[in-house]
Amino acid sequence: MKCESHITLLELQQRIQSTLVDALSLPLWVSAEISEMKVNAYSGHCYMELVEKGGPDSIPQARCSAAIWRSRFGAIASYFRIETGSELAAGINVLLKVTVNYHPLYGLSLTVLDIDPAYTLGDWQKQKLQTIAMLRNDGVMEMNRETDLAPDALRIAVVSSSTAAGFQDFLKQIDASAYRFEIELFDAFVQGHGAEESIISALEQIADRCEEFDAVAIIRGGGSQSDLSCFNSYRLCSHVAQFPLPVLTGIGHDKDTSVADMVAYRALKTPTAVAAFLIDRAAEQYALLDALGERLNAAAAEILDTAARRTENAAMRLKILSSDATRRLELRLERLSSEVVRLSQMSLSARAAKLQSTSERLRNSALFFLNRENQRIESAWQKTAARRVEHILSLGFAIVRDDGHALHDAERTHIGQQIDITLARGTLRAKITDNG
């Protein structure tokens, strides 16, 4: 079928371009999330990928490229930083003033003219309020605050980045203390993309070994307000709220309190403040133990002093009573000694006579027993000698062996089989010719 009329692809693209220009000639305010962002080091232009997510899985429903030209990028980025305290970066929801561009070769794109920081701040606050509402609806807001922190909490699981300056500051203060803390790091991203999943993974690892620790410390260095977004997420805060061990937070942000701070057992501003809190608790516990020790020493000294006085009085009474008792016992002992000597002599004489008689009977019985046993041994020897192999072979018997094993059944042999026949004197080698 031949088409009477047609247009070229370029003409189609030009019509689309003309239609868009006519329909969207004025700048528009557009809300979206920055999914990717890159500043060209050579040209100074900023290139972004904008998305809008929806549904329970936050799947992108719309996507478009955007650019901030060098002439505007510095002012826009600086304004956003001053107003929000955060850098313009991927993962942030923004409200942008844009113009729509359509190029026949490169397609649809947006040019960013301005930004509204208040929208981003409102989005962060909205997320925070939504998380708080969900946690309260779940009834878990106060759960971690109701856990028991041991007075001498010395076994601490730390969730932080091994390279974070805040973690190094925490360790430095802990090491400088007089107490022996046991610190184990569960390395995680604590800011930026992937921080939420990384921290949750670390908490799950600690939960599997919770009997090994007294508390958990989630710490990081200072950061921008946007870096707090993961600490306002429902999933992370739900894990913290329901964690079986007390959770201490020191995420280094003075201007705002995250939801994670609100549900944790104790929220402290910095990693060093977390370390100081743990050291102070240990100091209080050891001070209490010292005071109890002093009270115990004083009570023990008083008890010992009273006991010493009672012992001294008892010793004096015992000395008097023992002197009287000793004298009475000495007199009685003298009488008993004389009686014992007389009775002992009589008893020894009687027992000597009885022992002589018993010795004679024992000697006679032993001789009779030995004679009888000798006869039994002689009889057993004769029976044993009659059963010896040498004796049996001397009577004309022989031992037939096959490969060292004695043969008992002719049916287990075969014609031509080589066998050994042991006689009383010597061994014969034979071959079976008949085994019927």
When pLDDT is averaged across residues 72-76 and rounded to a whole number, the result is 92
- Please name the helix (run of DSSP H) or strand (run of DSSP E) that holds residue 367, with its range, or none: helix 271-386
pLDDT of residue 255 exceeding 70? no
Alpha carbon distance 166, 271 (integer Å): 6
Query: Using one digit for the tens of pLDDT, what is the confidence trace for 142-162?
Result: 999 999 998 888 899 999 988
Integer Rg of the chain from CA: 51
Strands (E) in 1-144, as ranges, are: 28-39, 46-54, 59-68, 93-103, 107-115
pLDDT of residue 46: 95
Counting beta carbons within 10 angstroms of the beta carbon of residue 202, is it exposed (0 to 12), middle (13 to 18) or buried (19 or more)?
A: buried
Alpha carbon distance 91, 93 (integer Å): 7
Query: Using one digit for the tens of pLDDT, what is the confidence trace for 268-282?
Result: 988 999 999 999 988
235 near 206, Cβ under 8 Å? no
pLDDT of residue 24: 76
Of residues 407 and 266, more confidence is placed in 266
Task: Reduce the DSSP state of residue 405 to 3 states and report it.
Answer: strand
Residues facing 95 on adjacent strands: 31
Of 90-94, 138-142, 287-291, 358-362, highest mean pLDDT: 138-142
pLDDT of residue 144: 94
Query: Using one digit for the tens of pLDDT, what is the confidence trace for 186-195?
Result: 998 887 767 8
Classify 171 in phi/psi space as left (phi over 0), alpha (psi -120 to 50) or beta.
alpha
Task: Reduce the DSSP state of residue 52 to 3 states and report it.
Answer: strand
228 near 190, Cβ under 8 Å? no
243 near 138, Cβ under 8 Å? no
Pairing between strand 93-103 and 215-219?
unpaired
- Please name the helix (run of DSSP H) or strand (run of DSSP E) that holds residue 143, with its range, or none: none
Average pLDDT, the chain: 84
When pLDDT is averaged across residues 66-95 and rounded to a whole number, the result is 86
pLDDT of residue 42 exceeding 90? yes
When pLDDT is averaged across residues 331-360 and rounded to a whole number, the result is 83
98 near 34, Cβ under 8 Å? no
Query: Using one digit for the tens of pLDDT, what is the confidence trace for 7-26?
Result: 888 888 888 878 877 777 68
pLDDT of residue 364: 84
**For residue 154, what are the CA distances in angstroms to 6, 180, 188, 269?**
81, 7, 22, 20
